[in-house]
Amino acid sequence: MIRIAGLRKSYGSTLIVDDVSLTLPAGGITAIIGPNGAGKSTLLGMISRLLPMDAGTVTVDGLDVTRTPSDVLAKRLAVLRQDNHIAARLTVRDLVAFGRYPHAKGRPTIADENKINEAIAFLDLGALEHRFLDELSGGQRQRAFVAMVLAQDTDYVLLDEPLNNLDLKHAARMMQLLRRAARELGKTIVIVLHDINFASVYADHIVCMQAGRVAHQGQPETIITPEVLSLVYQLPVRVELIDGQRISIYYQEDRTP
């Protein structure tokens, strides 16, 4: 379980995350949604100790993320941010193998090799494993990053917009795969999503942020409603039930003359 209490962060005089207190349940997929600048990525960064916080605490299974040694935390929690600029020229397999670093410390055992193979197969990267990252498309690279984070084999996996750069097929596959990881391997997945329909269909729990605060949270049925979404995104949103899935529709003609 991730417990967040009184979390605050500002850049200069701009408050990005404003006194957020939140409990994210263990197990399942929690999606964080909200408009641009709502503080989603900053929140994820602070939960995963990548960003320092101005005030507040975050504990993961009782471990305070700012006080727990980083290498201990690396076996419990894995995080992938968006916009990863990589200077080292690595093959896909090398990158995924680095996911085992917290466990293997550079001396991978057979068990580590197995985890690496599993992660590569899980993300369908077998044919690309010896290619260099700079020779791949954005989507293929994104899958390699996610494979690395899965190879880390932590209870908690935090992903910041992992569907960026992915085409429809791979985006849907990625979400199915994350759901499988949550269901079959018992992982807790926290994911910042832009596409609210993916959140609606795949998440077990949704946190909706607005202007640095948690505006709403709960099960998808309570969040994916015209009232909540229209207010949060400041745009008329319709929600239709299609094949039992709550799908938001917000594409509209520009009616201004």
Partner 1 sequence: MSPSLKLGLGLLAVLALSAVSLFIGVSDVSLASLLSSADEDRPMQVLLISRVPRTVALILAGSGLAVCGLIMQMLARNRFVEPSTAGTVESASLGLLVVTLLAPGWPLFAKMLVAAVFALAGTALFMRLLAAVPLRSPYMVPLVGIMLGGVIGSLTNFVAYRYDLLQTLGAWTMGDFSGILRGRYELLWLSAGLTIAAWFAADQFTLAGLGEAFTTNLGLNYRRVLSLGLCIVAMATAVIVVTAGAIPFLGLIVPNLVSALMGDNMRRSIPWIALMGAGLVLASDIVGRLIRFPYEIPIGTVFGVAGSLVFLWLLLGRRRHFD
Q: Which residues of this chain interact with partner 1, rule CB under 8 A?
A: 48-50, 69-75, 78-81, 84-91, 94-95, 98-99, 101-102, 106, 132, 134, 149, 152
Q: Which is nearer to partner 1, 62 or 69 (CB)?
A: 69
The residue (of 4 and 158) whose beta carbon lies closer to partner 1 is: 158
Cβ 7 vs Cβ 56: under 8 Å: yes
Residue 87 or 241 with smaller CB distance to partner 1: 87
- Give the residue with the Cβ less far from partner 1, 106 or 244: 106
| Smallest separation (angstroms) from partner 1 to the CB of 27 | 21
Task: Identify the CA nearest to 75 among candidates 189, 15, 152, 167.
Answer: 152
Name the minimum Å distance from CB 100 to partner 1.
Answer: 9
Give 16 or 80: the residue with its C-beta nearer to partner 1. 80
Q: How far is the CB of 243 from partner 1 (least distance, A)?
A: 37
CB of 224 to partner 1, least distance (A): 30
Q: How far is CA 143 from CA 67, 159, 200, in A?
A: 31, 12, 22
| Region at 25 (left for phi over 0; alpha for psi -120 to 50; beta for the rest) | beta
The single residue listed with the structure tokens 């319709």 is 238
Q: Is 87 helix (H, G, I), strand (E, B) or coil?
A: coil
The DSSP bridge partners found for residue 160 are 192
User: What's the min distance (Å) between Cβ of 78 and partner 1?
Assistant: 6
- CA distances 118 to 125, 128, 178, 202, Å, are 10, 14, 14, 23
